[in-house]
Amino acid sequence: MKDIMIATSNPNKVREYREMLEKLGYRIHDLSEIEHEDPEENGKTFAENALIKARSVWNHTGMMAIADDSGLSIDHLKGQPGIHSARYLAGHDYTYKNKMILKRLKNAEDRGARFTCAIALIDELGEHVFEGVMEGHISREIRGTNGFGYDPIFIPEGYEQTSAELTPDQKNTISHRGQATRKLLAYLNGEEQ
């Protein structure tokens, strides 16, 4: 059994990594198992923020960990919420955040958007970042109860359902996190990228 520490405080991310990696023989650990304080995510890109989170665990514990920085970038909102996806409309739940986004896009013709995920890994060989992007557009209404966060308003390219209407396996097969995870696995298996 191979162990991977997922350096995230977001239980939904932990669940998705479990769904993808446990069936491949990995044992998933999370930050609740160690003494750790969340670092300030003051990077300018998903990759920089993922590295900040991975370095924090590496420096505090010397434990190999992967960190995930991800978010939804909406063309009509000039790329927002982007790297601020978790902090966007802070203090409100996602039903409210999703409603507000639909309101802001009410008359928008361009509904293009994408989810990005950067996974940072630090090991004895150095720092590595693996990225995945899921292209799509913003729906006209909130639909679906699977997934988390902005999934109920995001329709992946080639689909009619929102990503909250897809099964976990369907989402993981096409998602930003799924794509980044497959690149991580290729690295861990010593394969070329």
187 forms part of the interface with ligand ITT (CB under 6 A): no
Catalytic pick from 30, 68, 69, 151? 69
**Best CA proximity match to 157, nearest among 183, 184, 179:** 179
Q: Cβ 176 to ligand ITT, closest distance in Å?
A: 7
Q: Cβ 190 to ligand ITT, closest distance in Å?
A: 27
Q: Cβ 2 to ligand ITT, closest distance in Å?
A: 21
Interface residue with ligand ITT among 147, 155, 178, 184 (CB under 6 A) is: 147
Closer Cβ to ligand ITT, 7 or 128, answer by number: 7
- The H or E element containing residue 164 is none
Told to judge if 38 belongs to the known catalytic residues of this protein, a careful annotator would answer no
Binding pattern to ligand ITT, positions 148-177, x when CB under 6 A? xxxx-----------------------x-x
Site for ligand ITT in 116-145 (CB under 6 A): none
Q: 10 Å Cβ neighbour count for 17?
A: 23
Closer Cβ to ligand ITT, 124 or 160, answer by number: 160
Question: Which ranges constitute the DSSP H helices of the chain?
Answer: 11-21, 46-61, 94-104, 168-174, 176-188
Burial 117-140, CB ≥16 within 10 A → b, else e? bbbbbbeeeeebbbbbebebbbbe
List CB contacts of 66: < 8 A, sequence separation 6 or more. Answer: 4, 5, 6, 7, 54, 119, 120, 121, 184
Q: Cβ 138 to ligand ITT, closest distance in Å?
A: 12
- Quick one: tokens of 56? 């924090």
List CB contacts of 109: < 8 A, sequence separation 6 or more. Answer: none
Closer Cβ to ligand ITT, 26 or 146, answer by number: 146
Residues 66 and 119: beta-carbon distance below 8 Å: yes
- Quick one: tokens of 63? 């434990």
Closer Cβ to ligand ITT, 76 or 156, answer by number: 156
Q: Which residues are catalytic?
A: 69
Residues that bind ligand ITT (CB under 6 A): 8-10, 13, 41, 53, 68-72, 85-86, 115, 147-151, 175, 177
